[in-house]
Structure 1
Amino acid sequence: MSNRRSILVIGANGYIGLAVCRAFVRAGWRVYGLVRKPESAQSLAAEEVTPIVGSASDLSFLDQLFAQIKTFDVFASCIEPPDYAAYYNNAIVMIRKIAETSNKNGVRPLVLWSSGCKDYGYTTIDGAPDLAPHTEESPINFAALFLAQRATYSLKMFEHTDLFDAAVLRPTNVYGYSSSYYGIMFEYAAAAAASDTVTLKLDVHPKTILHAMHVDDCGEAYVALADHSNRKSVGGQCFNISAHKYETAKVVAGALAEEYGISGGAEFVEPTPQDAAGMSVANKSLFGYSQWVSSEKIRNLTGWTDRRMLFTENLHAYRIAYEAALQAGHEDTVRIKARWEVWETQFKDLIGK
């Protein structure tokens, strides 16, 4: 029998889930990916990930899973469901059942549970005298009501020490490949370039902090925690994951304007009612969400560091990758656009509408 370690990635076809799968494959792990739809299985298989078709709300797939493997060293949950409480309640039953079998066969798992850095809410803007990064010691202060369930339920993972250890991970926004929510920035700039405007208008402060990282770096952070030799220093902990440096709305918007040939560059304005109707959600929830996030804890513990270029340092490559994903009908771009339409309403509590 091989002594290779194994991981089950829940939500493996999602944006971060797929990056986590790829990172563990590169690190030499045996990777299984749980997906809801049979049509998602082929894309996982192409990444050398063993697909498992099933759902936390219907555990009939467990017989199929246990026929292949009975022990997992790690679970990684990479799902951002609209009803977080319902998802958690189903997922914890599933994880406990799998962990019970794993424990009976001699392996106590580590659960890497994904939340997000917006659990902390905002920081002030670049250059503000009271500016300080959010750390794992910062209070939970979600700025939007629809984040409340995620911020609350993610911490419940620490209540199951009878069967597994757990760490809660809080990544920043991510970009690269199909771009996740940063694709909305490309869409906004493309729409401006196609209109008769001479500037890329933004109704946010130019010193708003936009702290994001490449999704590959995010995946490698999960591996760094799973590989760490001292499980006790990982279990029961929260870890922020962020790039070594943040950018600002002025820098990002200026780079987008240049990339899309918007001659007047970026313009930061007080919007008219007509302007606000077209740009409030994209502006306030992406360009206008100021947050600096410290990742010193995971860096100091594991030696992990981000390696990919910042968003504006390689923006053209990220743009063409996003456009290629659109052209191919990548399921992540379809999912993000559909989710964004729903969240336009939910974001109203965040932007004060």
Structure 2
Amino acid sequence: MTSAPARFNREHGASSLRRLEDVRPLLSGSRKRAGERGRRAGRLSDGCLVLFCYTCVFFVVTSLRLHYKVALSQINLELVRLAFGRVQLWSSFLTKVNESTDGEDVVGREREEIRLTLRTSSREIASAWALDVAKIFKFVHRLQKGTGKLDRVVMKVLVLGATGFLGQPISQALVRAGHEVYGLARTSEKAKQLARDEVIPVIGTVDSDAYMHLIPTLDVVISAINATPDILTNTFNNVCGAAKATRLPGAAKLAYIYSSGTWIHGDDRTTIVSDTTPLTNPVKLLANWLPGLEQQIVASTIVNGIVLRPSLVYGRSGSNFAPLFKAALKEKKVVWPGRPGGRYALVHVDDVADAYVRAAERSSIAAGKIFDISNAQTESVDELLRRLVEVSGVPGPYEYKEPTSLFEEAFSSTAIIRPYLAKALLDWSPRKIGLTDGLEIYYAAWLASSTKSSLLTQ
């Protein structure tokens, strides 16, 4: 005996099987009016549409939950679960119709069961889904733009080196983002400075136990300290040890963000490097210890280790370029270690702070990764020194000198960096104007932040 699907394919051709609803009249041995068949086909098509749409919603919701520690109040999860139950009824119904040889009885019986169970039609479910999807797209858009309008989870963050050139703006940016921020300070005077910035001060040093009582309840630890390799390594190991010993089983991993630098790429005036370029020739100042420490941090199974590599930092009180500004003012000439033709990878301190906030908030997807934090384009050292002669008013021309220390040798290095990972995963992009173009502003900011005595001492 020929089966109904085979009879359908022979009479109409397999390519004409557009809707499962069209199988019903053949299974029952009778043909329905075209209008009736079209209405039922429409309802079944709605059911298939809901199945597809809510499957998409399910994966979007799951992805957001896994990768972002944010409140998903925009999405009606109860509606998602309800719709899946209804879609399962449609799926079961279609399966029985397709497999049955006495389809009319099955169709009638199942239709009545579905009518009793489905209090909301598939069209109404689809309408509700459309509202949910609109909310999801708005949510993702705000997440990608990083506008601060998200329903973010408030994190507890400890910043080591919170009063330093990097640590202070990082702490302030975290506070502005709505997080609870603790800052390590060595003196009571520094602690008052943190309190003025609404940062909760913890008095102590990085090699002490002053902050270990916070480890069980922290979400993120940020290392923004300038210390010896041994202290930097021991600090990471101590935090990992405390996390392993004191955090509850099943608790989310503590995130540890370490501050490295792009000098680790070495001196190369021709090769373009990025976040994932293998390290072949780090500058001598860092070669013996920093690559190993970076890998130890990102490979950790105890914490979510993240490494950020800010390039040469400018802005506000000067940071990396304060010695250059000070030497020009004191010596009345611009002299700098290196040789002509070099280029600097640069980034403003405020943009660096923004990158740390984004890495902290997205620590679950940033874990195990290393990010170069740098402007998209490098800048000519020759042009920078020429502009400094103009802005500072000292007699020109500028001069180069031979490096006399490992630090000066590192400063004279060139790295042509094209970072991409922070943009791709953290949606981070620098916003401040470059050092050369904005040198008048940055030189004036350095002057205003420096005391008369500090300007006259080396």
Are 1:307 and 2:431 counterparts?
Answer: yes
Q: Does structure 1 conserve the Cα–Cα contact (< 8 Å) formed by 2:285 and 2:406?
A: no
State whether residues 172 and 213 of structure 1, in contact with CA within 8 Å, keep that contact through their aligned partners in structure 2. yes
Q: Deviations over 1:115-149 (max 9, x none)?
A: 1111121121xxxxx43134322315321145522
2:157 alignment partner, SS class: strand
C-alpha deviations, 1:26-84, integer Å up to 9, x for none?
Answer: 21111111223332111111111111112332215544x47xxx522211111121x21
Structure 1 counterpart of 2:283: 143
CA distance in 1, matches of 2:280, 2:306: 16
2:390 corresponds to: 258
Is the Cα–Cα contact under 8 Å of residues 6 and 29 in structure 1 kept in the other structure?
yes
In the alignment, the residues of structure 1 paired with residue 298 and residue 451 of structure 2 have an alpha-carbon distance, to the nearest angstrom, of: 42
Secondary structure, counterpart of 2:221 in structure 1: strand
Letter in 2 for 1:156: Q
Which residue in 2 is equivalent to 1:290? 414
2:313: which partner in 1? 174
Classify 1:174/1:13 alpha carbon distance in 2 versus 1 (closer, same or farther; 3 Å). Answer: same
Gaps of 5+ in 1: 125-129, 342-353
Q: 1:321 aligns with which of 423, 428, 445?
A: 445
Q: 2:158 aligned with 1:8, yes or no? A: yes
Q: Is the 8 A contact 2:221 2:255 kept in 1?
A: yes
Question: Aligned partners of 1:24, 1:18: CA distance in 2, in Å?
Answer: 10
Q: Contact 1:115 / 1:151 at 8 angstroms: preserved in 2?
A: no
CA distance 1:106–1:284, shift in 2 (3 Å)? closer
Q: Kindly report which structure 2 residues correspond to 1:94-243, keeping only aligned pairs within 5 A, or say none.
A: 94-98=239-243, 100-103=245-248, 106-124=251-269, 130-161=270-301, 163-193=302-332, 200-202=334-336, 204-228=338-362, 231=364, 233-243=365-375
Give the Cα–Cα distance (whole angstroms) in 1 for the partners of residues 306 and 421 of structure 2. Answer: 13
Q: Which amino acid aligns with 1:212?
A: L
Correspondences of 1:61-80 after superposition (within 5 Å)? 61-63=211-213, 65=214, 70-80=216-226
Shift of 1:206: 2.9
Count of matched residue positions in the alignment of Structure 1 and Structure 2? 307
Structure 1 stretch displaced more, 211-220 or 96-105: 96-105
Q: What TM-score, normalized to structure 2? A: 0.60
- In the alignment, does 2:229 pair up with 1:84? yes
Seen in structure 2, the aligned counterparts of structure 1 residues 210 and 90 have a Cα distance that, compared at 3 Å, is: closer
Counterpart code for 2:339: H
Quickly say closer, same or farther: Cα 1:214–1:326, change in 2 above 3 A: same
Deviations 1:227-285 (A, max 9, x none): 23x72x311111110012211111100110001123544356xx6xxxx5xx7569954
Please say which structure displays the higher CA radius of gyration.
2
Distance 1:110 1:61 in 2: 15
Secondary structure of 2:423's aligned partner: helix
Partner of 2:170: 20
TM-score scaled by length of structure 1? 0.77
Higher RCO (C-alpha under 8 Å, 6+ residues apart): 1
Residues 184-238 of structure 1, C-alpha deviation per residue, up to 9 Å, x if partnerless? 1102222342xxx6xx45563332011111111001011122223x72x311111
Pairs within 5 Å for 1:239-250: 239-250=371-382
Q: RMSD between aligned alpha carbons?
A: 3.0
2:337 & 2:261 partners in 1: Cα distance? 25
Percent identical = 25
Q: Say whether 1:48 aligns with 2:198.
A: yes
Q: In the alignment, which residue of structure 2 is the partner of 1:35?
A: 185
**Cα distance change of structure 1 residues 94 and 264 upon mapping to structure 2, 3 Å threshold:** closer
> Matches of 2:225 and 2:185 in 1, distance apart?
11
Unaligned runs of 5+ residues in structure 2 are: 1-151
Residues 269-326 of structure 1, C-alpha deviation per residue, up to 9 Å, x if partnerless? Answer: xx6xxxx5xx756995476221222221111222110011111222122112212222
* Structure with the bigger percentage of helix: 2
